[in-house]
Amino acid sequence: MVLSDKLFPHDISAEESVIGSLLLDGLAFTKIASFLEPEHFYLEPNKIIFEIARDLFNRQEPINQISIAHELETQEKLEDVGGRAYLAKVVDVVPTSIHIKHYANLVRRTATMRTLINAAENISEIGFDNDPDIENALSKAEDIIYSIRNDQPSRDFVPLRETLTPYLESSSSDLNDDENRPISSGFKLLDDLLGGLQRSDMLVLAARPSVGKSMFALNLAINAAMNDQKVAIYSLEMGREQIATRMLATQARVNMHSLRMMRLSSSQENRLVDAIGRLSDLSIFIDDSPVQGVAEMRGKARRLQLEYGLDFIIVDYMQLISNNKGSRETNRAQEVSEISRQIKAMARDLKVPVIAISQLSRAIEHRQSHRPLLSDLRESGSIEQDADVVMFIHREEKFTTKEDWIKNNPGVPYPEGQAEIIVAKHRNGPTDTIPLAVDDSIGRFVTIDSVKNNQLSTQEN
C-alpha cells in the first residue's frame, strides 16, 4: 500500500554533520552512542560509515578519517560509500564536533517520523483485516504506536541539582498542591507510615481468598475519589455491577445481602439514595473486561489520563491478567514476573500509584502461624522485587474458630471484626502493622478510633 508520493522525512545535512563530527573527533561517539543507531540514517553510505564507527568504538580502536577508510577498504565497502572523496567531503561540512548531539537528535527525529509513516501503513492494514474484535484491533494499533514511543532515547544521566531544583523553586505549600503529591489512603496511620500512596509506586496488596483484598481496595478507591482524585479500577474478577453494589453498601452502611434483595427499611433507603448521589459525583472509572493484558490496560489508562485525568489505578487481581507474550514454554511464575514488571513500568510511565492485588500461597493455611510472609506471595517471581510496597491483610478470625481461639488463648478476646494491614516491604521507609476494624456485611474498613466512636456500621437502623 502506497500512502503518498512524498519523500520520506530525512535531513542529509544533519547526517553528514554527524559523520563529519565523528571523523574529526572519534571520542564524540560517546555523546550519541546511547540513542543513535545505523538504521536511523536515511542514506545508505552514512548508515554504513556509522556502523563502522560503532564497531571501532566497541573494539576500543580510534575513530578518524584514516581508520574508517581502512576498515571500509578491508570490508570492500569503500566504493559503496563514495570512496575517500566522500569522507573528505563530510569532514569539511563541520568545523568542530561540539554540536554532534544536536545533529544526532535531528537524525533521530526524522527516523522516528519515517517509522511513524510505516506504522500508519501497518495500522491501516489492521483496519482492512476487518477483525470482528474491535478491542483487539485497537489494542494492536496502540501497541504499534507505543512501540515507537517506547523506542525513544533512554534518559541520560541527570545532575542531582536539576532534580533538586523544583524543591528550591517551590514553597512547601506549592509542593502540596503539585500534581506529584501523594494520594491519601483515607487511613491516617497507613498514610503516616507510607507518606500516602506515592506516585509512580507499585503497591502490592495480598491476602488469601475472602479475607478482604477487593473490599479494602474499594475502600481506598472511594477514599481517594472523595479527595478529588481520579481513580481507575481494572476488575478482572467482579463485574462493575457487583463493584457498584459493594460501594453502595459501604457508603450507605447497609447490609450487602439486604441491598441485593432490596429488603431495606425506610431509613436505609434514604441512606442509599444519599450514597448514590455522593458516589455519582466521584471520578471512579471501572473496566470489568475479564481478559486483558497489561499492555491493553496501559493503553486504556493513557487514554483515560488524556481525556479525564488519572491519579490512581487499582488492578484486581494480578494472577488473572493475561500475558500476551507468553508461550507454551513459559511457566506461570515467569508470566506473573513479566506481568509484575509491566505493572511497575505502567506506574512509572503514567506517574500514578498502582495497587496490584495478589493472591497468597495456600501454605499459609497449613502452618501454625497464619500471619503472611513475603515468601507467601503466590507465583511470586519478581513481585516482591518490583513492588515499592507490599501490604498483607491478616484476619485471624478467617483461620481460627472462636472455640479454638479460646482454647489456645485463654483470657485473650477473640479478634472478631479485627484486621491488620501488615506493611511487609516499604522500599523508602519503615515497615509496621496497622490495626483496623472491619465489617464484612457492609464492606467497610475503619480505624479503631472510629469503632470506639460507633462509626463502623449502622446497618440495623
Angle between helices 12-24 and 83-93 (to 10 degrees): 90
Give me the DSSP letters along 366-413: GSS-----GGGBTT-TTHHHH-SEEEEEE-GGGTS-HHHHHHHSTTSP
Q: Which three cell numbers stand for residue 46?
A: 552514512
Cα–Cα–Cα angle for 283, 287, 292, nearest 5°?
A: 145
Contact 353, 313 (CB under 8 A): yes
Kindly tell me the sign of the dihedral angle through the C-alpha atoms of 263, 266, 268, 271.
Answer: positive
DSSP-derived letter for residue 197 is B
Beta bridge partners of 434: 421
DSSP three-state, residue 183:
strand
Contact 254, 271 (CB under 8 A): yes
Angle between helices 44-58 and 65-74 (to 10 degrees): 100
Q: Which three cell numbers stand for residue 26?
A: 572519534
Q: Of the residues 237, 384, 397, 420, which is catalytic?
A: 237
Beta bridge partners of 447: 436
Q: Which three cell numbers stand for residue 113?
A: 517520523
Q: How far apart are CA 103 and CA 160, in angstroms?
A: 26
Residue 279 CB neighbour total at 10 angstroms:
18
Max Cα–Cα distance, the chain, nearest Å: 95
Contact 357, 217 (CB under 8 A): yes
Contact 436, 447 (CB under 8 A): yes
**Cis preceding linkage at 86, omega within 30:** no
Contact 7, 42 (CB under 8 A): no
Kindly tell me the sign of the dihedral angle through the C-alpha atoms of 218, 306, 358, 372.
Answer: negative
What type of residue sits at position 440?
A: D
Kindly give the residue spans of alpha helices, DSSP state H, lying in 253-354. Answer: 256-261, 266-280, 294-307, 332-350
CA 237 to chain CA mean position, Å: 20
Q: Answer yes or no: 237 catalytic.
A: yes
Q: What is the set of active-site residues?
A: 237
